[in-house]
Amino acid sequence: MNQYNQIKSQCFEANMQLPELNLVVYTFGNVSAVDRDKGVFAIKPSGVPYASLKVEDIVVVDFDNKVVDGKMRPSSDTKTHAFLYKHWENIGGICHTHSTYAVSWAQAQMDIPIFGTTHADHLTADIPCAAPMADSLIQGDYEHNTGQQILDCFEKKGLSPEEVEMVLIGNHGPFAWGKDASKAVYNSKVLEEIARMAYLTLQINPKAPRLKESLIRKHYERKHGKDAYYGQGC
């Protein structure tokens, strides 16, 4: 039995959620799933339509981007995934899409303000938008530098990747991550919905106020932390 079957299956299932959730069109987007013990991650092959994607097509690479299992070329975003896995040891899955509303905020080069409790249910900060990449970095190792771009954004804004599991890349699009590939996809869908709601909010009231701190804390803490009481628990 192939030693990578489990993460390949996880990766495949997560990728197949993207078209089901209307997060991608054609071959856009990708999801990866990591195996920390083996020091590898599985990722969608480059340019393969979701309708024809199979488990055996999934490519496994190490954190230095060397293919260790699979016959296809891995996603063009592989180096970005590898960079984030190397630097953020607590994440287990990464998702990149070109979903409409999230991309629109990225193209506007704007953080998504925290307007409502749907946003606060998932994070207490505005969703950050990293500044567009400098020309020198674009001309260099672009996908690797995209990972650096995300890391720099989080360091500059003082954000934790465990608390803020999503980001926009200026003029590019969204990345999201989580404890596994499925949670990364979940966070990508949440990001898209928050982006849509924020856009509509500003259409109704261009001067809409930011959600007040007491509501931010209440909604976040009832789902996260030691005193969380949302859901059925363990």
Which residues are known to be catalytic? 121, 230
Cα dihedral 54, 43, 94, 103 sign: negative
Tokens of residue 231, six digits: 């859901």
Rounded CA-CA distance 1/118 in Å is 43
Q: Amino acid identity of 216?
A: I
DSSP 8-state assignment for residue 49: -
**Alpha-carbon separation of residue 87 from 9, 82, 148, 149, 227 (angstroms):** 25, 9, 10, 12, 29
Q: Pairing relation of β-strands 129-130 and 166-169?
A: parallel
- DSSP line for 148-213: HHHHHHHHHHT--TTT--EEEETTTEEEEEESSHHHHHHHHHHHHHHHHHHHHHHHH-TTPPPPPH
Rg of the chain over all Cα atoms, to the nearest angstrom: 18
Can you list the alpha helix ranges (DSSP code H) found in 26-127?
Answer: 78-87, 100-107, 117-120
CB-based contact 62:40 (threshold 8 Å): yes
